[in-house]
Structure 1
Amino acid sequence: MTIKWRKSSRSNTGNGACVELASLPGRVGIRDSKAPTAPALALTPDSFRALLHNAKAGHLDLP
Structure 2
Amino acid sequence: MGLIEVRHLRYLLAAAEHGSFRKAAAALGIQESAVRSGKDAATTLEAAELIAGCRDGGK
Higher strand share: 1
Higher-Rg member (1/2): 2
Structure-2-length-normalised TM-score = 0.30
Q: Which has the higher contact order (CA 8 A, sep 6+)?
A: 2
Tell me which protein shows more helix as a share of its residues: 2
